[in-house]
Amino acid sequence: MKARLCLLSLALCAVLLFPGAALAKVSLKLGHTGSPTHHYHLTSEQYAKAVSERSNGEIEIKLFPSDQLGNQRQLVEGAQLGTVDMVLTSDQQLSSFMDSFGALILPYLFRDVDHVAKAMDGEVGAYFSKEAEKKGIVILGWWENGFRHVSNSKLPIVKVEDLQGMKMRTPNSEISLETFKALGALPTPMGFGEIYSALQLGTVDGQENPVSHILTQKWYEVQKYFSLTYHQHSVEPLCISKVIFDSLSPEHQKILLEEGRNMAAVSRKMVMDDEQKQLEELKTKMEVNEVPDLKPFQDAVQPVYEKARQQFGPIVDQILAVQ
């Protein structure tokens, strides 16, 4: 790691001393948990191409899907240390490193994707970007992962009582755990890569994720019911290690940031366009149902908000107030 940082520092010094010289080529590795057919990877491919073209080939981003570089937690830890270049991860994963990010995953926080875009491309996103930098992470763009829903092997979720006593896999975040406790379920945190086997073996009855993961991870093979609960939204931040980012030239930094922000809109559109087609495909593999009335679910999680306002402060109501 020290040798790599030394080389990066020397390259930056050369640029500063000889501003007329061509910038040294930069090669960055970007890891994520999605499959090669998932929108994480498809958006990342577009981003890597845009960055390469705009930098005249000076910045190369190599993509590693399906946890090839390690799981999400390992990649975020590595990015903080400077041993991992880039990671496309979740707000939930970041909340286990930065308490403030828990505010983003409050249940029924966002009304729709337009609400998400206005918040994350504005002052709310700027606030969380500053919080991330304090922990060694630079947010290049607030990409999209859609709303989260519940799949399980027991029954369709139609009312809150249907979740009573159900063993649910959740990410290892306090807000997710508190949300499903409030809904009467028994939350069981575990890594993303463990979900399929846990469902198959009956270690848990169900899990909760956006539509695309149900399809691309083939959880429909081990789950019968998929209920559209919209209980949380998942922002997908594109992150780069601050150690690595600070070692780059200002020109390269600008390209990475601007293209990352441009790709946020592409990511949101891709998710929205794909979800309806994915749902239609899932209906041929599972029993899919809309929850007829979300208000009882929203009422049930209000204790989570009472605690969150004390923990996170005014940012909670700032997000809710975005129009």
pLDDT value for 24 = 82
| 268-323 confidence digits (pLDDT tens) | 999 999 999 999 999 999 999 999 999 999 999 999 999 999 999 999 999 999 99
SS3 220: helix
Residue type, 257: L
CA gap 217, 219 in Å, rounded:
6
CA quadruple 36, 96, 112, 167: dihedral sign: positive
Residue type, 207: Q
Q: Which fold has domain 25-321?
A: D-Maltodextrin-Binding Protein; domain 2 (3.40.190)
Low-confidence residues in the chain, pLDDT < 50:
2-3, 5-8, 10-21
| 165-176 confidence digits (pLDDT tens) | 999 999 888 899
Question: For the chain, where are the alpha helices, taking DSSP H only?
Answer: 2-17, 39-54, 72-81, 91-95, 113-120, 123-133, 174-182, 195-201, 211-216, 242-247, 250-282, 295-300, 302-312, 315-321
Q: Exposed, middle or buried: residue 311 (CB in 10 Å: 0-12, 13-18, 19+)? A: middle
CA gap 242, 261 in Å, rounded:
17
The pTM assigned to this predicted structure is 0.86
